[in-house]
Chain A
Amino acid sequence: MTDPLLEVRDLGRDFTVRTKGEGRRRRTTKIVHAVRDLTFDVAAGEMVGYIGPNGAGKSTTIKMLTGILVPSRGHLRVAGLEPSRHRRDLARRIGVVFGQRTSLWWDLPLRDSFELLRRIYEIEPARYERNLREYVELLDLGVLLDTPVRQLSLGQRMRGDIAAALLHDPSILYLDEPTIGLDVVSKGRLREFLRTLNAERGTTLLLTTHDLQDIEALCDRVIVIDHGTAVFDGPLARLRATGGATRTLVVDLVDEVPPIAVDGADVLKVEGPRQWLSFPADASAAPLVAQVAAAYDVADLSIQEPDIEDVIREIYSR
């Protein structure tokens, strides 16, 4: 089996939007291409970040991948199945977590929701027990099992939702904004869990997020989507190098001096004895550091990696 788990070819989805005509004119319809000419593969075991601004087509893509929306055109296979035609068969092989809403039963304790899922997915008791024990431990759900979902905090609920999406051992897990609204500690623990899941079970992850730290912590590969189509697909390091990304050398000098003049770097800012120099992300810092150290009295040096958010903004603006 060398076939990719996700196979997306020239995928497109249009929406007909009705707009009210002005005055006495009739209502007009307009076709919006929410997703167009989208092509990518995802192999089993990959962790892919799927990012883009609001309205870029992220959710529409996920909804086609899960079979919720029928594509307008193109070719789509998930685990060898055409999602919209075999939605229910596919459901047994995928896990979906929508960050902004729960798929748990609001009035039921977590334990009952899990038990219901066991019967819906027809999970063998032994496997269910093993999975439940493991997720309860890793996601720290023990004391929450008997609490109705509506009484859980956002972070607790999210952990419950993730466990619920994984009880049937899906080969791919879609996460839509999994860390939205979580505090720093909860985010950290969630990322740790997802890494473990991927490493130990080989679960493929596709996550959409606004939090670029999620991407940095989890994804070897990033797909950037804008206006419905992929504008970047590759490793995070290359995304940094693309789009004229720059690194910053922060120099703490012994004395206050005029802006440093060296080749291959521009001074961004001067604040007392501290100066910020920007240089291309793909250039080595060593010669620059050598030059600065040779010409000035340096107290300390540090290098800041490019802010991925700036990189993406740069890509969008092109």
Chain B
Amino acid sequence: MAELVRRSVYAVRTYRLIAGLWIRSSMAYPVSFWTMTVGSLLINFLDFVGIWFMFHSIDRLGGFELREIGLLYGATGIAIGMGDLLISSVEELGQKIRTGQLDAMMTKPVPLLVQVCADRFQLRRLGRVGQALAVFAWAAPVVDWSPTRLLVALLMLVSGSVMFFSLFVTFSSVQFWTTDSSEFANAFTYGGNTIAQYPMTIFPKELVRSLTYVLPLAFVNWYPCLYLLGRSDPYGAPDWLRFASPVAAAVLVVVMAVVWRTGVRHYRSTGS
């Protein structure tokens, strides 16, 4: 147990070390950094403006008003934004394999996943998180806040971030076998995020089922938000699902760990 704690502390510390280095090196060009960050914030801001305009001609979408949708939108946006920030260049795994950079990483005592994730850490990806956070804060008054609701909201955001992080890593691990592009992964992660921005009531029941039991993205925001909004599930799913986001996150972490480790053991390196 003590060993596990020691290893985790070491992993987090080295992640911060390496990421910190990249942040410092990007700060060497502050103008470029702030243009990129603010630019990404603005582009993402326009994204929600689209939904906002839609509500000029409708009052409700799938039974939900604009602020309620803002809550769903903000929650999944924060989650995928945090996941995207933390994985940094995992999507470039294939490139690291081809250039032999991964070999060099494997001869260091830092966990490989930490090195891959912290490498070329891009703080400007906070722009997306910032926008989602702003939408979430704007939507927050729609919730009748209580200590329990606050706790559920916090667990939702943390679990959601962990879930997207795990999905990014899991899908990128495919590159251990085929060093091809990551388009396949994006269909599930970014596609999933787009779906999760809307209330599940506008989608067919089968899709909601698969987003609960197969690719459990409904736990990123839908189920916990139902609790925050004091609504019952239109599809009649059991109430305890609203508190199950951390469980769904844990399942995805286990899947990620297994796939990643299998990938590392099957790693073939490059011919040199």
Mask, B153-191, CB within 8 Å of A = 1, is 000000000000000000000000000000000000000
Interface size class of A (residues with CB under 8 A): 20 to 34
Q: Which of A61-69, A240-248, A301-309 contacts B (4 or more CB under 8 A)?
A: A61-69
Residues of A near B266 (CB, < 8 A) are: 70
Q: Which of B72-80, B100-108, B200-208, B212-220 contacts A (4 or more CB under 8 A)?
A: B100-108
Chain B CB within 8 A of A84 CB: yes
Task: Given A69-B267, A98-B103, A101-B104, decide whether A121 and B21 contact each other with a Cβ distance below 8 A.
Answer: no
Instruction: Flag if B109 contacts A69 (CB, 8 Å).
Output: no
Of residues B107, B111, B266, which shows the largest number of chain A Cβ atoms within 10 Å of its Cβ? B107
Instruction: Flag if B265 contacts A70 (CB, 8 Å).
Output: yes
Residues of B near A108 (CB, < 8 A) are: 21, 25
Residues of A near B108 (CB, < 8 A) are: 88, 91, 103, 120
| B23 CB, nearest partner CB in chain A, Å | 12
Residues of A near B268 (CB, < 8 A) are: 15, 69
Which of B14, B103, B104 interacts with A120 by CB under 8 Å?
A: B14
Chain B CB within 8 A of A256 CB: no
Instruction: Flag if A67 contacts B106 (CB, 8 Å).
Output: yes
Near B by CB (< 8 A), chain A positions 37-92 give: 55, 59, 63, 66-70, 84, 87-89, 91-92
C-alpha spacing A89/B110, complex, angstroms: 10
Chain A CB within 8 A of B44 CB: no
Chain B CB within 8 A of A112 CB: yes
| Interface residue tally for chain B (C-beta within 8 Å) | 24
| B76 CB, nearest partner CB in chain A, Å | 34
Residues of B near A15 (CB, < 8 A) are: 268
Instruction: Flag if A112 contacts B21 (CB, 8 Å).
Output: yes
C-alpha spacing A105/B267, complex, angstroms: 23
Which of A84, A94, A107, A119 interacts with B107 by CB under 8 Å?
A: A94
Task: Given A68-B267, A70-B265, A108-B21, decide whether A101 and B100 contact each other with a Cβ distance below 8 A.
Answer: yes
| Nearest opposing residue in chain B for A16, CB measure | B268
Instruction: Flag if B109 contacts A116 (CB, 8 Å).
Output: no
Residues of A near B111 (CB, < 8 A) are: 88
Chain B CB within 8 A of A96 CB: yes
| Nearest opposing residue in chain B for A13, CB measure | B268
C-alpha spacing A267/B75, complex, angstroms: 87
Chain A CB within 8 A of B35 CB: no
Residues of A near B269 (CB, < 8 A) are: 59, 63, 68-69
Instruction: Flag if B106 contacts A87 (CB, 8 Å).
Output: yes
C-alpha spacing A68/B272, complex, angstroms: 14
| Nearest opposing residue in chain B for A165, CB measure | B107
Chain B CB within 8 A of A196 CB: no
Mask, B251-268, CB within 8 Å of A = 1, is 000000000000001111
Which are the 10 A-B pairs with shortest beta-carbon distances? Answer: A103-B104, A91-B109, A96-B107, A68-B106, A88-B109, A59-B272, A92-B109, A107-B25, A101-B100, A66-B107
Interface residues, chain A, CB within 8 Å of chain B?
Answer: 15, 55, 59, 63, 66-70, 84, 87-89, 91-92, 94, 96, 98, 100-103, 105, 107-108, 112, 116, 119-121, 176
Q: Taking A68-B106, A68-B107, A94-B107 as given, write out 13 further A-B residue pairs in contact, using a Cβ cutoff of 8 Å, ordered by the A residue number.
A: A55-B271, A69-B267, A70-B266, A87-B106, A88-B108, A91-B108, A98-B103, A98-B104, A100-B100, A116-B18, A119-B13, A120-B17, A120-B109
Q: Can you name 20 A-B pairs with beta carbons within 8 Å?
A: A59-B272, A63-B103, A63-B269, A67-B107, A68-B269, A69-B269, A70-B265, A70-B266, A87-B106, A88-B108, A88-B109, A91-B109, A94-B107, A101-B100, A105-B21, A112-B21, A116-B17, A116-B21, A119-B14, A120-B109
